[in-house]
Amino acid sequence: MKQEIEGKVFDILRQALKRNEPMKVKQTSNEQDFSLFDCPNCDTTMYYESEPHDWKYCIECGQKLDWGDN
């Protein structure tokens, strides 16, 4: 039982550490007044009327975002 709990704790920690590694966002639309981007981890669509680079993490899953050339 103790090993099961430890295994689950380590899985949660691994997932949290992985979410802290920046992943490149996927731009899905670039209109004149807004842009749409998808999280590379959970595919949540994020809508921006202004510069999105201020968002460091996904609003849904907490994945750290890499805006790179967007």
The total domain count for the chain is: 1
Residue 67, pLDDT score? 84
d(CA 42, CA 58): 9
How much is the pLDDT for 50?
Answer: 60
pLDDT at 70: 56
- Spatial neighbors of 44 by CB under 8 A, at least 6 apart, are 38, 58, 59, 60, 61
Structure tokens at 27: 């731009």
Model confidence pTM above 0.75 = no
10-residue mean pLDDT series, the chain (70 residues): 85 89 85 80 82 78 84
- Residue 42: which domain range? 2-66
pLDDT for the residue numbered 33: 66
Is residue 45 within 8 A of residue 57, CB to CB? The reply is no
